[in-house]
Amino acid sequence: MPKYVYSFTEGNKDQKDLLGGKGANLGEMTGLGLPVPPGFTITTEACRYYMHHGENPDELAAQVTAAIDQLEATFGRKLGGAQEPLLVSVRSGAKFSMPGMMETVLNVGLNDQSVHGLAEFAGDERFAWDSYRRLIQMFGKTVLGIDGDLFAEALDAKKAAVGAASDVDLTAEDLKDLVTRFKAIVAGQTGAAFPQDPRAQVDAAVVAVFNSWNTDRAKVYRRRERISDELGTAVNVQSMVFGNLGPDSGTGVAFTRDPATGHTGAYGDYLPNAQGEDVVAGIRNTLSLDDMAKIDGKSYDQLRQIMSTLENHYRDLCDIEFTVERGKLWMLQTRVGKRTAAAAFKIAVQLVDEGLITLDTALERVTGDQLSNLMFPQFDPAAPKKLLTKAMAASPGAAVGQAVFDSPTAAKWAAEGRTVILVRRETNPDDLSGMIASAGILTARGGKTSHAAVVARGMGTTCVVGADALHVDPVARLFRVGDATVNEGDVIAIDGSTGEVFLGNVPVVPSPVFQYLDEGLAEALAGAGGDGPAAELVMAVHRILSHADAVRRLKVRANADNGEDAARARRMGAQGIGLCRTEHQFLGDRRKLIERLILAHDDPTRTEALAALLPLQRQDFIELFTEMDGLHTTVRLIDPPLHEFLPDLTHLSVAIAKREARGEVIATAERELLVAVERQHEANPMLGLRGVRLGLTVPGLFALQVRAIAEAAATLIKQGKSPRPEIMVPLVGSYVELDLVRDEAERIIKEVSQAQGEELSIPVGCMIELPRAALVADEIARAAEFFSFGTNDLTQTTWGFSRDDVEGGFFGRYLELGVFQVSPFETIDARGVGQLVERGVKLGRQTRPEIGLGVCGEHGGDPASIHFFNRVGLDYVSCSPFRVPIARLEAGRAAVTAEEGSGTA
């Protein structure tokens, strides 16, 4: 027979899947011999049964009866009995903490008879009737689904009628009247009296907790935290203890270390003569644990001893809830405490130094997201702020500047020494110069993988996107939000960690961790004053990140397109460049040259364009290879679709038509341009003439780039340097495509080698970014010396998505419906796209065992995706320079986790 109910004496901390986090930890504390009010846990399996069948399993009722019988025997009291009644709480408890998302019902078992027994037992009639009032109110709202405002309004009316300033001023007689009113509300709203059967109360409360798993707020929380909807929640039924029975009673919350700073010691709040909800509600000012020591030294000493026991047992910061009932200390809950990012690193290192954990465990205790938060400046939390709106946090940081509404203005003002925030409805590649010049980027449209978000993260620029409350008017050069109007030049502030947008200046606090990562340990320690909290944090990050570098298998490269980005990537710890996007080198003034090359209809025009581009490209690569001297530098040949280099067909057609309507003469060159653009126009350019297709159909384009790469390498070798370029061909779907490009590349490399008198060894490989390429990777590997998985395009082509369209379209709805737990452009879709990556790895190595394998999409810097890439056997990940430290940390964490999973730890 399935077992759905476990006594606290049967559980332990390793049973969170079955008993939930709260139940597992209550079992663990019970097993340690700590004073835990007895109780039992109804398993997550029972919840899942209920969710799938709409009713409890048949065996559950009898098992709950047996568990209640055991509780009654332990206490010698009857659930809801007339004399000294046993009362219980019914609480949720999922595997992963979901604070405030699910339901709790306290004082279960009280009824019209047992309330008198409770009053006699407590020696306090007011306490008993207040407990009964709380039960009816909580049960009515949570279990019966009655509008909570009805109870609140009745409570307020009673206080007003008797002149009570707060709940605690109500007398026993007032509360008796209120109980009568509350029961009338229940009867009026449900057509039935408040249930007097204690067991019926328990059963209904259990079902209410099960149902609370699927409330809207719980679903939203799980989506945000990436918690599976299939887990379900456990239910904990625990005997009640009361901290509001007089001056020798109380309740509190304690932390074994400061969860905000990581400092060792005892931190927490205590309220004498109070219940736990009073601490949370803030209806009374709490006392410190030091104050508790003065009030009840015996209980305080016992609490400190238990805190030490729990921290040593869990080997981590513990969050503890406790109650003192008439001088006896009871432990109501413990869990590994949540903490700030800074505290996470500090506590991990402290526990290593105290001999409680290893460096491997310390590495597992921190995350890439936490490190990311520590890298960016943050607004001073104590500063006054005027919030305009809150949108999607796309790239962390805190930026303050003057609002500007186009890229040229941003670049111009920045050159004049002004700090600017670029505000756009959405950005496009032509905005790059303004984005680079801006301290922050704010868009009204787009998602986390929109152009603005991706580019901003790559540059380490603060960015907030999808601020749909903003009405941006680029012509009037202003935006409106609510009643506020922000004109160009007005100062705004954006928080890329929270998505908040503020009016006016907000002071920021710099990050010593970023200084360490960008400038080095000595400089960061000097900037932090040599000691103190900032220096302690820098040292903690340094120790853990150094250990990650020592244990990781995955190498970490960077996506960088110029010498400046490459230099920063190297300072951040990059072990090479995994992606140089050469198309970025053709923006700005060079765009006209590449446009002429693409539209050329004769050899002289084409040759002229190539001749102008070659020295520019060669110098680009000299700068890049110089900064990455001795390290692999993977250069992707030009990839984007034609429309990014050609005039917009609609705009060009309309402009010419308007001029014709005014009788203006249209030059022959302009008409030829329109004809050429019409000829090259594509309905779906992302699946059209781009990548290898462009290189094979536009004579001389790829040859130009290969020659520039080879000549740059030869130039540096003559200077005694050690460039290690690699040529990567994009959008390959066929072995023949790559073979054609490789033959031409090898011919050009040989020519340059002979002409320069330097031996050149430049590997040629390709991107795997089409499903077909992954499926025939064994064939493609015959011509490829390395693969780099382009997971951005691979995700688009596998799902049939256009990222630029769907992110701002239906993705939000898909997340609400649970189609996605997270955007597949943010974290790799392991079951779909991931299988193609895994197959490509397997087939590539079958043909060429020594083939190099990496990834260069946005996923290369995503913590969850890095663990996947480590598991499937890639050699490296590549990400933006600013995410290199995050990738280094997560690659180390992935290695430690993999060792544990294989049993070698």
Residues known to be catalytic: 451, 856
Q: How far apart are CA 188 and CA 147, in angstroms?
A: 12
Residues 627-630: contacts with CB under 8 Å, at least 24 apart: 627/563, 627/566, 627/567, 627/570, 628/566, 628/570, 628/576, 628/577, 628/723, 628/724, 629/716, 629/721, 629/722, 629/723, 630/721, 630/722, 630/724
Token pair of 301 as six digits: 């000493």
- Could you tell me where the DSSP H helices lie in 195-275? 198-212, 216-225
The separation between the first and the last C-alpha atoms of the chain, rounded to the nearest angstrom, is: 37
C-alpha distances out from residue 503 to 94, 402, 403, 500, 608, Å = 40, 10, 10, 10, 51
Q: Which of 490, 465, 506, 495 is nearest to 405 (CA)?
A: 490
Q: Do residues 323 and 251 make contact, with C-beta atoms less than 8 angstroms apart?
A: yes
Contact (Cβ atoms closer than 8 angstroms) between residue 451 and residue 804: yes
Kindly give, in sequence order, each residue whose CB lies less than 8 Å from that of residue 752, ignoring residues fewer than 6 positions away: 707, 710, 711, 714, 760
CA atoms within 13 Å, Cβ hemisphere of 251: 21
Q: How far apart, in whole angstroms, are the C-alpha atoms of residue 425 and residue 415?
A: 23
Cα–Cα distance, 214 to 399 (Å, whole number): 38
| Residue 395, Cβ density class (10 Å: 0-12 exposed, 13-18 middle, ≥19 buried) | buried
The b-or-e profile of 448-471 (16+ CB within 10 A means b, else e) is bbbbbbbbbbbbbbbbbbbbeebe
Task: Provide the angle, in degrees to the nearest 10, between the axes of the packed helices 668-680 and 649-661.
Answer: 150
DSSP run (H or E) holding 617: helix 603-627
CA distances to 602, 651, 666, 676, 851 from 669, rounded to whole Å, are 15, 17, 8, 10, 49
Spatial contact of 67 and 237, defined as CB atoms under 8 Å apart: yes
Q: ∠ at Cα 610 (609, 612), nearest 5°?
A: 65
Q: How many CB atoms lie within 10 A of CB 675?
A: 12
Q: Which two tokens stand for residue 760?
A: 């050149």
Report phi then psi at 725, rounded to 5.
-75, 155
Q: How far apart are CA 480 and CA 469, in angstroms?
A: 8
Evaluate whether 501 touches 442 at the Cβ level (below 8 Å). yes
Helix-then-strand count for the chain, H and E: 37, 31
Alpha-carbon gap, residue 123 to 133, rounded angstroms: 18
What is the rounded CA–CA span in Å between residue 118 and residue 504? 57
Instruction: Note whether 44 and 19 are within 8 A (CB).
Output: yes
Alpha-carbon torsion (880, 882, 883, 887), positive or negative: positive
Task: Tell me the pairing of strands 852-855 and 786-789.
Answer: parallel
Could you tell me how far CA 223 lies from the centroid of its own chain? 11
